[in-house]
Amino acid sequence: MFEEDKKNLLKLNNKIFPQIRHYQLIKKIGEGSYGKIYLAEDTKKNNLVALKIIDKTFLELLGKTEEAFIEQYMLINFKNKNIINLLSCFQTKQKLVFVIEYFQNGNFENYLKQIQSINGILSYETSKFYLAELLNILLFFQEKNIVHLDLKPGNILMDERLHLKIIDFATAKIIGKEYDLNTKKFVKNSKNNKLNNHKKIKLNNNNNLNLIGTIEYISPEMINGNIINYKSCDIWSFGIIMYELFHGYTPFKGKNNLDTIENIKNGKFYINEKLPFEVKDLIKKLLCYDQKERLGILDIKDIMNHNFFKGINFDNLFNEKVPENFKKSISDSEFFENKMSFHEELYTTDDTENENEDIVENLNIKKPNFIPNFSFGNDFCIVKFDKHISLQDNYYY
Ligand X SMILES: Nc1ncnc2c1ncn2[C@@H]1O[C@H](COP(=O)(O)OP(=O)(O)O)[C@@H](O)[C@H]1O
Residues making contact with ligand X (CB under 6 A): 29-30, 32-35, 37, 50, 52, 84, 100-103, 106-107, 154-155, 157, 167-168, 170
Closest to Mg ion by CB, 128 vs 173, is 173
Closest to ligand X by CB, 52 vs 199, is 52
Contact between 329 and 119 under an 8 Å Cβ cutoff? The reply is: yes
How far is the CA of 14 from the CAs of 63, 89, 293, in angstroms?
30, 10, 46
Q: Which residue is nearest to Mg ion (CB)?
A: 168
Taking the complex as a whole, how short is the minimal distance between the CB of residue 148 and ligand X, in angstroms?
11
What is the enclosing helix (H) or strand (E) of 173?
Answer: strand 173-174
How far apart are alpha carbons 381 and 371 in whole angstroms? 12
Q: Decide which of Mg ion, ligand X, none touches 254; Cβ closer than 5 to 8 Å per partner kind.
A: none
How far apart are alpha carbons 221 and 226 in whole angstroms? 5
Q: Decide which of ligand X, Mg ion, none touches 130; Cβ closer than 5 to 8 Å per partner kind.
A: none
Q: Residues with Cβ < 8 Å from 129, sequence gap 6 or more?
A: 312, 317, 320, 322, 323
Q: Decide which of ligand X, Mg ion, none touches 102; Cβ closer than 5 to 8 Å per partner kind.
A: ligand X
Q: Buried (b) or exposed (e) across 22-44, using 16+ Cβ within 10 A?
A: bbeeeeebbebebbbbbbbbbee
Q: Could you tell me what percentage of the chain is helix, strand and coil, using 3-state DSSP and rounding each to the nearest 5?
A: 40, 20, 40
Closest to Mg ion by CB, 32 vs 267, is 32
What is the largest distance, in Å, between two alpha-carbon atoms of the chain? 73
Q: Which residue is nearest to ligand X (CB)?
A: 32
How far apart are alpha carbons 135 and 239 in whole angstroms? 11
Taking the complex as a whole, how short is the minimal distance between the CB of residue 237 and Mg ion, in angstroms?
13
What is the enclosing helix (H) or strand (E) of 166?
Answer: strand 164-166
How far apart are alpha carbons 266 and 362 in whole angstroms? 12
Q: Decide which of ligand X, Mg ion, none touches 166; Cβ closer than 5 to 8 Å per partner kind.
A: none
Task: Tell whether residue 133 is a contact of Mg ion (CB under 5 A).
Answer: no
Interface pick for Mg ion out of 133, 168, 221, 244 (rule CB under 5 A): 168
Q: Buried (b) or exposed (e) across 47-64, using 16+ Cβ within 10 A?
A: eebbbbbbebeebeeeeb
Interface pick for Mg ion out of 5, 20, 32, 209 (rule CB under 5 A): 32
Closest to ligand X by CB, 160 vs 315, is 160
Taking the complex as a whole, how short is the minimal distance between the CB of residue 317 and ligand X, in angstroms?
21
Interface pick for Mg ion out of 72, 119, 155, 263 (rule CB under 5 A): 155
Taking the complex as a whole, how short is the minimal distance between the CB of residue 49 and ligand X, in angstroms?
8
Taking the complex as a whole, how short is the minimal distance between the CB of residue 34 and ligand X, in angstroms?
5
Q: How many residues in the chain?
A: 397
Q: Decide which of ligand X, Mg ion, none touches 248; Cβ closer than 5 to 8 Å per partner kind.
A: none
Closest to Mg ion by CB, 109 vs 350, is 109
> Which 186-205 residues touch Mg ion, going by CB under 5 A?
none
Taking the complex as a whole, how short is the minimal distance between the CB of residue 99 and ligand X, in angstroms?
9
Q: Residues with Cβ < 8 Å from 41, sequence gap 6 or more?
A: 23, 24, 26, 47, 48, 49
Q: Decide which of Mg ion, ligand X, none touches 29; Cβ closer than 5 to 8 Å per partner kind.
A: ligand X
Closest to Mg ion by CB, 155 vs 394, is 155
Q: Which of 169, 265, 145, 282 is nearest to 215 (CA)?
A: 265
Residues near Mg ion, by CB under 5 A: 32, 155, 168
